[in-house]
Amino acid sequence: MDILNVLPEATFAALDDLLTFISIYDDRARTRAYLRLLRAHRRTIAGAVCVDAGCGMGYFSEELVRLGARRVYAVEANPHLYALASERLAAYPEVVCVHQEIQQFEPEEPVDVLVHEFFGPLLYDEDLHVLEALRFRPRLVLPDRAVLMGGLAWTEQVADETVTPAVVRRLEGALVSGLFDEGDLPLQFPVVRWAFGQAEREVVCDLSGREGDLLYLGLQIYHGDRLICQAGRCPNWPYVWTPRMGDRFRLRFAPAERGAEVHFAWL
Ligand SMILES: C[S@@+](CC[C@H](N)C(=O)[O-])C[C@H]1O[C@@H](n2cnc3c(N)ncnc32)[C@H](O)[C@@H]1O
């Protein structure tokens, strides 16, 4: 969904984010996986004070109430999503909807559980950095870690009539999401990691000894050892592709006003 007419910048940004973020609900596998994660922690959630950071439409807040949370702060920065979540959650007295950036939010009581989903297809390329600037310290963060994995394939194996090997060669230096179907291409090696409180925003990855002329990157979200969501299986996070131009590349993420900038270079 794209807005095609000229609008004042702030109006455009808020509506554009609204349209981007509601499209994640087309990915039912993602939402179901998160709800399963919450249910797996029902004992901790029952009676707890919870924060649903970037609550979107408020589905996770609703589930936290169902699981017996004593209070749920549903915090959302986007004015349209905040309004939609407030309508949806109005029936639950345990929920306090807050229209604020999560970095500015200062709850009046200690927080037991934080739930979030700020992951981009390249891990740090959406809003994950906001969790580094919280003004409160939750006892449990769901989920608590993620890895951007990499793999190598041969372009000839995955190319089709539209995205031919000649087209792929033109994409030097560009990280392109959804260029091909993931098929059963395995995620082979870790590239960048995130754990709550431990952000790794710049890496150099060495591909020496690995075969293939096409690099792909895909997200895996974990809680502890348990795999919650994976690129390809959850369409919200497609693989990201680029032609291989060497054995080493640098990937760097810089927080920006909206999301994060991604810097990528072959060394
Ligand atoms: C990927 S969506 C996830 C929505 C919801 N948690 C879910 O998974 O269904 C990320 C949400 O976080 C919100 N958001 C992004 N940055 C934020 C921030 N700094 N503070 C609060 N909300 C934020 C976005 O507007 C969006 O609704």
Question: Residue 210 C-alpha to ligand 1 middle, in angstroms?
Answer: 37
For a mutational test of ligand 1's pocket, the pick from 127, 219, 257, i.e. the residue with the most ligand atoms closer than 8 A to its C-beta, is 127
Smallest CA separation from ligand 1 atom 13, residue: 54
Atom 8, ligand 1: which residue's CA is nearest? 117
Given this model, what pLDDT does residue 259 score? Answer: 85
SS3 165: helix
- As a whole number of angstroms, the distance between CA 180 and CA 101 comes to 35
Diameter of the chain measured on Cα atoms: 59
**Which of 102, 129, 141 has most ligand 1 atoms within 8 Å of CB, for mutation?**
102
Residue nearest to atom 25 of ligand 1 (CA): 78
pLDDT digits (tens, 9 = 90+) for 169-186: 999 999 999 999 999 999
User: What pLDDT, on a 0 to 100 scale, did the predictor assign at position 152?
Assistant: 98
Beta-carbon contacts of residue 140 (< 8 Å; ≥ 6 apart): 41, 44, 112, 113, 114
Place of tokens 């309004």: 83
Residue nearest to atom 7 of ligand 1 (CA): 56
Supply the DSSP symbol for 180: S
CB contact at 8 A, 41 and 138: no
**Per-residue pLDDT at 257 exceeds 90:** no
Average pLDDT of span 146-172: 97
- Angle ∠(123,128,133) on CA atoms, nearest 5: 150
Computed over every residue of the chain, the mean pLDDT equals 97
Task: Label the pairing between strands 49-53 and 113-116.
Answer: parallel
Mutate which of 16, 18, 20, 21 for ligand 1? The one with the most ligand atoms within 8 Å of its CB, which is 21
CA 78 to centroid of ligand 1, rounded, Å:
8
CA dist 13 and 162 (Å) reads: 32
* Percent of the chain predicted with pLDDT > 90: 98
Q: Which long-range contacts (CB under 8 A, 24 or more apart) does 70-76 make?
A: 70/94, 71/95, 71/96, 71/109, 72/96, 73/49, 73/98, 73/105, 73/107, 73/111, 74/98, 75/51, 75/100, 75/102, 75/105
Does residue 239 sit in helix, strand or coil? coil
| Residue 124, CA distances (Å) to 37, 54, 63, 189 in order | 21, 15, 26, 17
Residue ranges covered by each domain of the chain: 9-117, 146-266
CA of 216 relative to ligand 1 center, distance in Å: 26
The dihedral over CA atoms of 41, 46, 50, 54, expressed in degrees to the nearest 10, equals 60
Q: What integer pLDDT is reported at residue 133 of this predicted model?
A: 94
Residue of minimum CA distance from atom 4 in ligand 1 = 56
Residue 226 pLDDT > 90: yes
Q: How far is CA 248 from CA 55, 210, 241, 244, 254, in A?
A: 38, 11, 15, 9, 20
Contact between residue 249 and residue 265 where contact means Cβ atoms under 8 Å apart: yes
* Residue 34 alpha carbon, nearest atom of ligand 1: 8
CATH no., domain 9-117:
3.40.50.150
* Closest atom of ligand 1 relative to the 102 alpha carbon: 20
- Tell me: the pLDDT tens digits for 79-137? 999 999 999 999 999 999 999 999 999 999 999 999 999 999 999 999 999 999 999 99
pLDDT at 258: 78
Question: Which residues contact ligand 1 via a Cβ below 6 A?
Answer: 17, 21, 24, 54-56, 59-60, 75-78, 81, 101-103, 117-118, 127, 130
